[in-house]
Structure 1
Amino acid sequence: MELYQLKTFREVASTGNLTEAAARLSLSQPAASAHLKALEQEVGFQLFYRTPKGMTLTPKGAKLAAESNRIIDAMEHFRQIANELRHNPAERIRIGLNTDGSLLRIQDVVEALSARLPQVEIHFLETKSENFVADLDNSVIEAGFFYGEVRDPSIYSIKLRAFPMAVVYPNGWTIPEEESAMAFFAGKPWIWTTQGCPFYQRSIDYFAREGVFPRRVMYVDDEFLIGELVQKELGCSLLAEPIARQFAEANKLKMWNGLDLAINLHFGMAKDTMSDPIRQALASIVAGVWTG
């Protein structure tokens, strides 16, 4: 059974006329007739009633006509996808970045990806940890970095590092002795992360255990905006230690490392994509950059 036979079958069924169907297919009438005859011989029964007014499907022919349409449509869809891939051979993977690229070692990741997966086109997008699962579900990204923990069983994740969290405060503030620092900060205004942010719940739980209840001024969901607001002396805040250190080394604010509090950085993707060799290689590359 050949695809060209099915196409002739479909045209004759559609037009009810062998001559018209042959013309649509740029065939001679004898060639179209031969296609039908060969198909009927293969299936073992008559497909059409031949009448002076044209050709009509037999009951069995009508059932096969529906199947032939599905087969032809599937083949045309296959050819369309193959054509798109031929003109755009690179596979694209969108990776979400939840914080500064240098902290995430993106340069090292890109170099390793270029060496091991040169056929893959990587797109980096700014994302937020609290939206990681939703961004995967909505196909905004195919993989990404995120803070905190994901308990969703559909997510495959690799823990990259636990970062200490530090208090950042304006350069104009002078903190007292180390043992009094927490009480000092508790009395100051705080710039807090939004409630969906992994920093938020970790911080709330920690301060509750310490019996400290900071006064909150505003909620902000961007690390670098938090740094800018602290610089303007609107309050103090919590940041992952590497980000806090960037600000401190640039003399934009001060940091205090007296908290016994950390936040985990993960790289993850949908678990049901992990059978794909490219996704496996991507996870291996990111893990290798961090373990290295």
Structure 2
Amino acid sequence: MELYQLRTFVTVAETGNLTRAAQRINASGPAVSAQIKALEEELGLELFARTARGMSLTDAGRELVERARRTLEAAGELLSAAGSFRAEAVGVARIGLNNEPGRLRMTEFLARMRSDHPRIELHLMQYSTADALDGILTGELDAAFAYETANDPVAELKGVPLCRVDMAIVGPASWRGRIEEADWGELSGMPWVWFPERCPFQFLLEETFAHKGFSLNKVIVGDNDSTLRALVAAGCGLTLLRRDDALDACAAGDVCVWEREPMSLALSFLYRRTRENDPVIRAVCGVLEQVWGDGADVC
């Protein structure tokens, strides 16, 4: 049994699809299928039920995939521990990005990582904050950029504070007259374009309005920032955007911005608390602290 077979097993279990699993681990579909078949033959068990909708774990597969994750994590920890005895950190860092790379200062981060830690292999992948937190807890990710809210599993996570991100409430440009002078109560009664489950924007709005004694009138859900902006521009209701996105949309004539009181979210770089002394995690966090400074700035 090889570690790459276990990694393939876990990836197929997470994606439920041979093609998506192959894309994630940079292998061909036939190679992924062959690795799963070889592992099943060695174990003498069927790990997956093949269906028209994809790959579904069998009872045995569900039991063994958690053991496979722990084995891979232990192998990674062994590699990192070995690296700690050398002058440079060695290993793989799978990092979730919850925004565009430029906004997360990836250009400078990558340049410093190549210079200071050339033997750390970086895997950068786009994740929503909610999916990134899940990925850290399941071991799919080593760390991630994420907006912090009171709903996060803070007991299990530790992070590097990076900055606060200004937010703004926006509405259709044609509603400018009724929105710009509206108070919190009037805003709460207007229709709202809402967010995917567990989106930090959702938590921020609900907590803010609940603190002021109001609930919100949610009429439609969008799945990403560009969809939210388009739905607002089409006159469907209000929503919350990053302030820089809101000002760009306002300048384009798509929305109007309500800015009578500031709102913001904390952006942090999070990882499992149990990996605080992992050499790879320490190296990545050290470079991030150089790139971002003391985390006091608003971005």
Q: Contact (CA 8 Å) 1:162, 1:263: kept in 2 or not?
A: yes
Q: Contact (CA 8 Å) 2:93, 2:281: kept in 1 or not?
A: no
Matched to 1:129, the amino acid is T
Q: Structure 1 residues 256, 115: CA separation in 2 closer, same or farther (over 3 Å shift)?
A: farther
Q: Contact (CA 8 Å) 2:129, 2:199: kept in 1 or not?
A: yes
Rounded to whole Å, the distance in 2 between the matches of 1:236 and 1:183 is 14
Paired residues for 1:210-249 under 5 Å:
210-249=212-251
Aligned position for 2:99: 99
Q: Contact (CA 8 Å) 1:195, 1:201: kept in 2 or not?
A: no
Rounded to whole Å, the distance in 1 between the matches of 2:179 and 2:190 is 16
Query: What fraction of aligned residue pairs are identical, expressed as a percent?
Result: 23
Matched to 2:204, the amino acid is R
Paired residues for 1:76-115 under 5 Å:
91-115=91-115
Aligned position for 2:263: 261
Cα offset for 1:190?
0.7
The CA deviation string for residues 69-121 of structure 1, in whole angstroms up to 9 with x for no partner, is xxxxxxxxx9xx99xxxxxx973321101122222222222222222222222
Aligned position for 1:54: none
Q: Structure 1 residues 288, 256: CA separation in 2 closer, same or farther (over 3 Å shift)?
A: farther
Rounded to whole Å, the distance in 1 between the matches of 2:133 and 2:222 is 20
Q: Contact (CA 8 Å) 2:179, 2:187: kept in 1 or not?
A: no
Rounded to whole Å, the distance in 1 between the matches of 2:161 and 2:262 is 19
Helix, strand or coil for the counterpart of 1:235? coil
Aligned position for 1:165: 167
**Unaligned regions of 5+ residues in structure 1, if any?**
1-77, 83-88
Matched to 1:208, the amino acid is A
Matched to 2:131, the amino acid is N
Rounded to whole Å, the distance in 2 between the matches of 1:206 and 1:173 is 22
Cα offset for 1:265?
0.9
Q: Structure 1 residues 169, 285: CA separation in 2 closer, same or farther (over 3 Å shift)?
A: same
Aligned position for 1:75: none
Rounded to whole Å, the distance in 2 between the matches of 1:135 and 1:241 is 27
Structure 2 length normalisation: TM-score?
0.61
RMSD in angstroms over aligned alpha carbons?
2.9
Q: How many residues align?
A: 208
Rounded to whole Å, the distance in 2 between the matches of 1:257 and 1:115 is 42
Q: Contact (CA 8 Å) 1:175, 1:181: kept in 2 or not?
A: no
Cα offset for 1:275?
1.7
**Unaligned regions of 5+ residues in structure 2, if any?**
1-74, 80-88, 295-299
Q: Contact (CA 8 Å) 1:156, 1:271: kept in 2 or not?
A: yes
Residue among 175, 193, 199 paired with 2:201: 199
Q: Structure 1 residues 138, 177: CA separation in 2 closer, same or farther (over 3 Å shift)?
A: closer
Rounded to whole Å, the distance in 2 between the matches of 1:194 and 1:147 is 15
Aligned position for 1:43: none
Aligned position for 1:279: 281
Q: Structure 1 residues 264, 90: CA separation in 2 closer, same or farther (over 3 Å shift)?
A: same
Aligned position for 2:177: 175
Helix, strand or coil for the counterpart of 1:216? strand
Cα offset for 1:157?
0.8
Q: Structure 1 residues 173, 144: CA separation in 2 closer, same or farther (over 3 Å shift)?
A: same
The CA deviation string for residues 162-191 of structure 1, in whole angstroms up to 9 with x for no partner, is 223201222232234854354553343111
Matched to 2:208, the amino acid is Y
Q: Contact (CA 8 Å) 2:136, 2:271: kept in 1 or not?
A: yes
Which structure would you say has the larger Rg?
A: 1
Rounded to whole Å, the distance in 1 between the matches of 2:202 and 2:279 is 36
Rounded to whole Å, the distance in 2 between the matches of 1:115 and 1:284 is 13
Aligned position for 2:86: none
The CA deviation string for residues 2-33 of structure 1, in whole angstroms up to 9 with x for no partner, is xxxxxxxxxxxxxxxxxxxxxxxxxxxxxxxx
Aligned position for 2:134: 134
Matched to 1:109, the amino acid is F
Paired residues for 1:40-59 under 5 Å:
none
Q: Contact (CA 8 Å) 1:169, 1:235: kept in 2 or not?
A: yes
Q: Structure 1 residues 218, 156: CA separation in 2 closer, same or farther (over 3 Å shift)?
A: same
